[in-house]
Amino acid sequence: MIIELLAAADAPQNAFGFWEAMEQGGAIAWFILSVLVIMSVGSFYILITKLLEQNKVMRQYKAVRANFWRAGSLQEAATKLEKNSAWRQLADDANKANDDVSKMTDSLEAHDYLHGSLQASENSINARLAGGLPFLASVGATSPFIGLLGTVIGIYRALINIGLAGSASIDKVAGPVGEALIMTAIGLLVAVPAVLAYNWLQSRNRRIAEHLTGFSTDILAYINSNGAVKPAVAAPAAAKKAPARPAAAAPAKKA
**CA gyration radius for the chain?**
34
The pLDDT value recorded for residue 211 is 94
Q: Mapped to the 3 state alphabet, what secondary structure does 87-108 carry? A: HHHHHHHHHHHHHHHCCCCCHH
Region for residue 250 given its phi and psi (left: phi exceeds 0; alpha: psi -120 to 50; beta: otherwise): beta
Mean of the per-residue pLDDT values for the chain? 80
pTM of the entire predicted model: 0.75
Over residues 136-148, mean pLDDT: 92
* 69-125 residue pLDDT tens: 888 888 888 888 888 889 999 999 999 998 888 888 777 788 888 889 999 999 999
